[in-house]
Structure 1
Amino acid sequence: MAKAQPGENCFYQGRMMKQEELANLLNSLSTQIESRLSQFNLKSKYTHEDIKSDVFLLVQRLIASGRLELHLDVDGELLLVRIKGDLREPIINPRAWLRTVAFNYIRGLHREHKRFLDITSEKWESSLSIGQSNVVPFPRHTHPMQYIENLELREKIKQLPDEDSEILELFYFKKLSYAEISSHLECKGYPRYTEGNIRQKKFRALKKLRQLYL
């Protein structure tokens, strides 16, 4: 096996340090994220760990698409640079920026759940009676994390253990609820899991997915 060159070691160590610092900044927002989830009545559906994991993945997508760069200053503090064409705009306060991203994400979750609750039974019946029985215009489990649906993340999800990969696939791409995921897994021979079990397993799978970026 070829040995990694010194420059390569420095590159990967630097990348790991940046990702760890990003995770630390998100962890420092846990209390504020919990408060915002309570404000929008979402604590029964999401935890601060769910939100932090999703925002972490969003940042990875922005980096992969060339719209964001992460750097460390001489003191080891994280610096974020927003890329707009030929313009490079430093984000003065990365923690405040991440907080804004997290809060906007929670607000988006609230809008999606509210839209779901506003759908009347008449709308459901009319939607399902137009001859498209396999197409539901208002998904039962709507998740605004559309940015996770890209090839890079999907490939990394496939690198996870089978059960973890299955849960993330069903949650993010098939839009299944925790109860539906539990039933699906049971049909495939997995033990009978409660919705709480699935939530925890999804959280642990996201932590493993995060490690693939470190």
Structure 2
Amino acid sequence: MIIKKTLTPREKFESAVQHLFKQTYLETNEAKSYAALFNGIKSKLRQFNLPHDQMYDVIHETYLRGIKLLESGEEIKNPRAWIRETSFNVIREMSRKQKKEPSWDSNLIEHQKALEASNSLNSANYDDKDLRLLELALKKLEPKDNKLIVLRHIEGLSWQQVVNHLASNGEVVTEASARQRGKRALKRLRNIFFELKKHN
């Protein structure tokens, strides 16, 4: 006789989060319900015009909120339903935040490219000082981060071309991991830029 181990609330929740990524290993009905949850989160991202590669950020944030809730002594009775509801809330918050924050990085980098092309400094949105700070911030990045941002945002390569370029230099990465690294690199660049701006 097989005795089924009773999972703690935290183990149940962690198992549910893991199942989101490993639907194929589950019994058919359970796999279907997790696949539906996974696809539901993906379609919610599309609905809010957020890139599909933010899926993992959404699930990570949902997971952290769940652990925090469990550690505070609360109970998550139905992990799947809770993950669905919370992940949708996370997406709504991300969308609101994105609308509030001007996309300084892409705008500024676009302007940098235009400047390099025309060598003119008549900027409507950003002054010469901002551009100098951006250049300085780029230089302060780790070489790998700098390379990704230059290839993707300044040279305008697609992510597939970025991956091919890295591979030709002996660095094998998937497109998904290059995107993730690129996103983290932009975040670091943004932080350095605003830190420099604060002190100037």
> Which structure has the bigger radius of gyration?
2
TM-score by length of 2: 0.42
Higher relative contact order (CA 8 A, sep 6+): 1
TM-score, normalization: structure 1? 0.40
Bigger proportion of residues as helix: 2
